[in-house]
Structure 1
Amino acid sequence: MNDLDLNTLLGAEDDEGQTRRRTRGSGKRGNGRRRRRRRNRGRFIAPLLAFVVLAGIIGGGGYYGYLWLSDALVPDDYTGQGTGEVVIEIKDGQSASEVAEELERQGVVKSARAFTNAIANAGKSASLQPGSYKLRKQMSAAFAVTMLVPENRLLAKVTLKEGLRLSDTLTTLAKETGKPVKEFTSAAKDAEDLDLPSYAKGKLEGYAFPATYDFQPKSTPKQMLAAMVKRFNQTAEQMDLEGGAKELGHTPHQIMVIASIVQAEAGRQEDMAKIARVIYNRLERKPQMKLEMDSTVMYALGKYGTAATFAETKTRHPYNTYQNLGLPPGPISNPGDHAIEAALNPAKGDWLWFIATDPNSNVTKFASTEAQRQALLAEYKNNGG
Structure 2
Amino acid sequence: MIDLTDLPGQPRPESGPPRAERRRRRRRRTAVVVLVGLVILGGGTAAAWGTLGPVVAGFVESNDYEGSGSGSVDVTIPDGASGRAIGTTLAEAGVIKTQRAFVDAAQANPASSGVQPGTYRLRSEMSAAAALDLLLDPASRVTTRLTVPEGLRATQVFGLITDSTGIEQAQIDAALADPAALGLPASANGNVEGYLFPATYDVNPDETAVQLLSAMVARSKQAIAELGITPEQEHDVVVMASIAEKEARTPEDMAKVTRVLLNRLAADRPLQLDSTVSYAVNGTTVTTTAAERDIDSPYNTYRYPGLPAGPISNPGEAALKAALEPTPGPWLYFVTVNLQTGETKFATTDSEHLAYVEEFRAYLRANPEQ
Relative to the length of structure 2, the TM-score reads: 0.74
1:170/1:185 contact within 8 Å kept = no
Please point out which of 125, 136, 143 is paired with 2:130. 143
Equivalence for 2:235: 253
2:56 aligns to what SS in structure 1?
helix
Change (3 A) 1:149 1:359: closer
Change (3 A) 1:100 1:311: closer
Counterparts of 1:194-273 in structure 2 under 5 Å?
A: 194-242=182-230, 251-273=233-255
Taking the aligned partners of 1:90 and 1:252, their CA distance within structure 2 comes to: 35
Change (3 A) 1:147 1:357: closer
Equivalence for 1:352: 332
Could you give the per-residue CA deviations for residues 176-198 of structure 1, whole angstroms, max 9, x where no partner exists? 11221221222133221111122
Change (3 A) 1:218 1:378: same
Letter of the 2:73 counterpart: V
Taking the aligned partners of 2:86 and 2:359, their CA distance within structure 1 comes to: 68
Aligned pairs, how many?
311
Change (3 A) 1:198 1:121: same
| Alignment of 1:276 onto 2:236 | no
Could you give the per-residue CA deviations for residues 190-236 of structure 1, whole angstroms, max 9, x where no partner exists? 22111112221221100010111112222111111111111111111
Equivalence for 1:290: 270
1:384 aligns to what SS in structure 2?
helix
2:63/2:101 contact within 8 Å kept = no
Taking the aligned partners of 2:264 and 2:271, their CA distance within structure 1 comes to: 6
**Unaligned stretches of 5+ in structure 1?**
1-46
2:63/2:100 contact within 8 Å kept = no
Q: 1:268 deviation in Å?
A: 3.9
Counterparts of 1:76-95 in structure 2 under 5 Å?
A: 77-89=64-76
Backbone CA RMSD of aligned residues: 3.4
1:357/1:364 contact within 8 Å kept = yes
1:218 aligns to what SS in structure 2?
coil
Could you give the per-residue CA deviations for residues 293-342 of structure 1, whole angstroms, max 9, x where no partner exists? 00111111111222111221111111100000101111011011111111
Letter of the 1:212 counterpart: T
1:158 aligns to what SS in structure 2?
strand
Change (3 A) 1:164 1:69: same
Higher share of residues assigned helix:
1
| Alignment of 1:186 onto 2:166 | no
Taking the aligned partners of 1:99 and 1:227, their CA distance within structure 2 comes to: 23
Change (3 A) 1:161 1:180: same
**Unaligned stretches of 5+ in structure 2?**
1-16, 33-52, 108-112, 366-370
Taking the aligned partners of 1:100 and 1:256, their CA distance within structure 2 comes to: 43
1:304 aligns to what SS in structure 2?
coil
1:295/1:304 contact within 8 Å kept = no
1:293/1:321 contact within 8 Å kept = yes
Q: 1:134 deviation in Å?
A: 1.7
| Alignment of 1:377 onto 2:357 | yes
Letter of the 1:87 counterpart: D
2:226 aligns to what SS in structure 1?
helix
Equivalence for 1:117: 100
Letter of the 1:384 counterpart: L
1:118/1:145 contact within 8 Å kept = no
Taking the aligned partners of 2:221 and 2:61, their CA distance within structure 1 comes to: 51
2:150/2:198 contact within 8 Å kept = yes
Taking the aligned partners of 1:375 and 1:155, their CA distance within structure 2 comes to: 51
1:78 aligns to what SS in structure 2?
coil
Letter of the 1:279 counterpart: L
1:257/1:327 contact within 8 Å kept = yes
Could you give the per-residue CA deviations for residues 31-70 of structure 1, whole angstroms, max 9, x where no partner exists? xxxxxxxxxxxxxxxx9xxx9xx99xx9xxx9xxxx9513
Please point out which of 311, 320, 336 is paired with 1:340. 320
Equivalence for 1:18: none
1:189/1:203 contact within 8 Å kept = no
Equivalence for 1:35: none
Q: 1:79 deviation in Å?
A: 1.8
Taking the aligned partners of 1:100 and 1:371, their CA distance within structure 2 comes to: 70
2:364 aligns to what SS in structure 1?
coil
Taking the aligned partners of 2:72 and 2:352, their CA distance within structure 1 comes to: 68
Please point out which of 301, 306, 328 is paired with 1:321. 301
Equivalence for 2:12: none
Letter of the 1:119 counterpart: F
Q: 1:383 deviation in Å?
A: 2.6
Taking the aligned partners of 2:128 and 2:299, their CA distance within structure 1 comes to: 61
Q: Which has the larger radius of gyration?
A: 1
Taking the aligned partners of 1:97 and 1:312, their CA distance within structure 2 comes to: 60
Please point out which of 308, 319, 344 is paired with 2:288. 308
Change (3 A) 1:131 1:375: closer
| Alignment of 1:69 onto 2:51 | no
1:241 aligns to what SS in structure 2?
coil
Could you give the per-residue CA deviations for residues 117-167 of structure 1, whole angstroms, max 9, x where no partner exists? 31354577xx99874222123412443355456976532101111110001
